[in-house]
Amino acid sequence: MDERILRKTLSDIPLGGLRTFEQTGSTNDVALAWAADGAPDLALVCAEEQTSGRGRGDRRWFTPPGTALAFSLVLRPLPGEEQSVPLFSGLGAMAVCEALGMRGLHPEIKWPNDVLLNHRKVCGVLAEAVWMGEKADSIVLGIGVNVKPEAVPPSDQLNFPATSIEAEMGKSVDRLTLLRDVLQALLYWRGLLTKDVFPNAWGNHLAFRGEQVEIWAEGVPARTGQVEGLERDGSLRLRSHTGQIFTVQFGEVHLRPVL
């Protein structure tokens, strides 16, 4: 990654700092350490390659060199945002959807925050909060986007079908301008995080709306229901086969369509 070109491309974004790596373990780990060391709001860590990229639920995230976007943003909750911490991962997914929409694609969000193209995962978001007692001191929002087909892991390592932007578009995509567009969209939606328009827009991107899905978590019986929409706090609203409405909060929960 040419840092000079990256800085120029991102010159309109009011970053709190920028650290770039040709190779690192995990940009989230770098950003968490930086946050502990006083990183300001909107400090950004980007890597060309991650050797131990992390996904949700302790899964690995594959980032071969030069094929993806792998970055982590430190967010210091602003006044009023403290109550909205659970919404930050949806914020990352919404920002990526917006940037993909600008490229003529029709992304959907597999709740809570996987971005899909044609029902295949193209982006994952890992939001990690650092708590000081009851208060989130910082949130590290890690985003991984499969830009080139080489970024997609072999199928035996996938727990959900995956794709890349270039495979879906049939042409090459500039990663730096994509990053700029994601960050710009993130700043826009962050300003609306505490307003109803945010969960409404997130809900409008929901994949499997009206379809039967299974919600499962480690050690807990799976539940099935029809996807109805999102609650104000970002929880998923479903309808059981008996017609009862129930909601599912974030946490280590996963969703898969019932075939």
| DSSP track, 189-211 | HHTTTTSTHHHHHHHHTBTTBTS
Q: How far is the CB of 79 from ligand BTN (least distance, A)?
A: 27
163 binds ligand BTN (CB under 6 A): no
* Residue 125 engages ligand BTN in binding (rule: CB under 6 A): yes
- Measured from the CB atom, is 176 or 192 closer to ligand BTN? 176
Q: DSSP label at 147?
A: -
**How many C-beta atoms surround the C-beta of residue 27 within 10 A?**
29
Q: From CA 20, how far away is CA 27, in angstroms rounded?
A: 9
Q: Could you tell me the two tokens for 250?
A: 């974030």
Residue with tokens 């299974």: 214
Nearer to ligand BTN, 120 or 226 (CB): 120
Cβ at position 62, least distance to ligand BTN in Å: 9
What is the C-alpha to C-alpha distance for residues 46 and 71, in angstroms, rounded to an integer?
Answer: 4
- Output 59 or 135, the one with its CB closest to ligand BTN: 59
Q: How far is the CB of 221 from ligand BTN (least distance, A)?
A: 23
Q: Which of 6, 9, 27, 186 binds ligand BTN (CB under 6 A)?
A: 27
In whole angstroms, give the CA distance from residue 185 to residue 176: 14
Q: How far is the CB of 113 from ligand BTN (least distance, A)?
A: 7
Q: Which stretch binds ligand BTN (CB under 6 A): 142-150, 181-189, 193-201, 241-249?
A: 142-150
The residue type found at 100 is L
Nearer to ligand BTN, 24 or 226 (CB): 24
Cβ at position 256, least distance to ligand BTN in Å? 14
Q: Is 107 in the site for ligand BTN (CB under 6 A)?
A: no
Report the alpha-carbon distance of residue 133 to residue 39 in Å, rounded: 19
- Binding segment for ligand BTN (CB under 6 A), chosen from 7-15, 21-29, 173-181, 249-257, is 21-29
Q: Choose one: 33-41, 46-54, 90-98, 214-222; the region binding ligand BTN (CB under 6 A).
A: 46-54
The residue range among 13-21, 55-63, 79-87, 165-173 that interacts with ligand BTN, by the rule CB under 6 A, is 55-63
Instruction: Please confirm whether the linkage preceding 112 is cis (ω < 30° from 0).
Output: yes
- Which residue has tokens 């006083």? 38
Query: Which neighbouring-strand residues pair with 128?
Result: 140
**Is residue 59 part of the contact set for ligand BTN (CB under 6 A)?**
yes
Place of tokens 């930086």: 34
48, 159, 164 from 67: Cα distances, Å: 8, 20, 9
Residues that bind ligand BTN (CB under 6 A): 26-28, 50, 53-56, 59, 61, 70-72, 114, 124-126, 142-144
